[in-house]
Structure 1
Amino acid sequence: MKLGRLNHVGVATPSIEAAIAYWRDVMGAVKIHEPFDMPSQGVKVCFVDTPGENGTAGTQIELIEPLGADSPIHGFLAKNPAGGQHHMCYEVPDIHAARAEFLAMGKKVLGEPRIGAHGTLIFFVHPRDMGGVLTEIMETPKGDGTH
């Protein structure tokens, strides 16, 4: 299995607005994308572009806030009330081949591929099989890779 580039780091937050202010005012975000709701995943999402080299965009941060009482992020925030790193996301060229490879290696794949926040297919691999980090695997987006 060869993972592609790190696409983003997911950060759970109790308030996207407060997190946006932090990334803008403290961390010097170069672009803050428009927040949007993803009812199918129970979250509100906002992508933030961190500064890269020579004024370019670096790695994206995906801010995720619970959307409704059934959000899977509620459990994470119950253990981490201030929020924090939720997952890391890596790109692969073929999501179905990657899923098959993870399963063949005996890794616990969480669910079937589904559309993620970038509009491309994703799945997650359990933290216990990924060095303690919930890992999102995402099919490489077509175009610029941003929402």
Structure 2
Amino acid sequence: MKLGRLNHIGVVTPSIVESVAHYRETMGATATTEPFDLPAQGVKVCFVDTPDAHGEVGKGTQIELIEPLGEDSPIHKFLEKNPLGGQHHVCFEVEDIAEARSWFEGQGKRILGPTRTGAHGTPIFFLHPKDMMGQLTEIMETPRGDGH
């Protein structure tokens, strides 16, 4: 398996609207996606685009803003412990999700749940923080074409 680029950093927020305003006003962000619901995961998501090393917006690592869709959301407890929200996970790309899953399983790493479709429309899975130096880690198959 070969680790790809850092695709995004997941940030849980009680309000995507307020977080987008913060990134625009405080950080000078100029590009965000429209928020959309992921009912299967119990969250609403929006991406803030950052520039790449050449200053081109939309080509760099993204910030994934994640808001719970209700009290049944898996991130609801995160917000109970962190009312202002905060960093939730990091996401790395891989070329082949099945190969990556097999690689991590072969190392005895705990995978949280089945491989499923993530916010970018590509297969993902999560690795337990206790196996990843305390950081919840998402592994996603590299998007094809224009997918970020």
**What is the TM-score with the length of structure 1 in the denominator?**
0.95
Q: Structure 1: which 5+ residue stretches go unaligned?
A: none
SS in 2 for 1:111: strand
1:18 aligns with 2:18: yes
Matched residue of 2:135: which SS? coil
Distance in 2 (CA, whole Å) between partners of 1:141 and 1:50 is 17
The residue that corresponds to 1:116 in the other structure is 118
Amino acid at match of 1:63: L
| 2:43 pairs with 1:43 | yes
CA deviation vs aligned residue, 1:24-73 (integer Å, no higher than 9, x gap): 11111131111000000000000010234443123100000000221001
In 1, the alpha carbon distance for the partners of 2:129 and 2:96 equals 21
The unaligned stretches of length 5 or more in structure 2 are none
**SS, match of residue 40 in structure 1:** helix
User: Which contiguous aligned blocks of 4+ residues in structure 1 show a shift greater than 6 angstroms?
Assistant: none
Which residue does the alignment assign to 1:79?
Answer: 81
Contact 1:29/1:51 (<8 A) preserved: no
SS of corresponding position for 2:78: helix
Question: What RMSD in Å do the two structures reach over aligned CA positions?
Answer: 1.1
TM-score of the pair, normalised by structure 2:
0.94
Q: Percent identity?
A: 68
1:126 and 2:128 correspond? yes
How many residues are treated as equivalent by the alignment?
146
Equivalent residues of 2:2, 2:95 under 8 A apart: no
2:45 is aligned with what amino acid? V
CA contact (8 A) 1:9 1:87 kept: yes
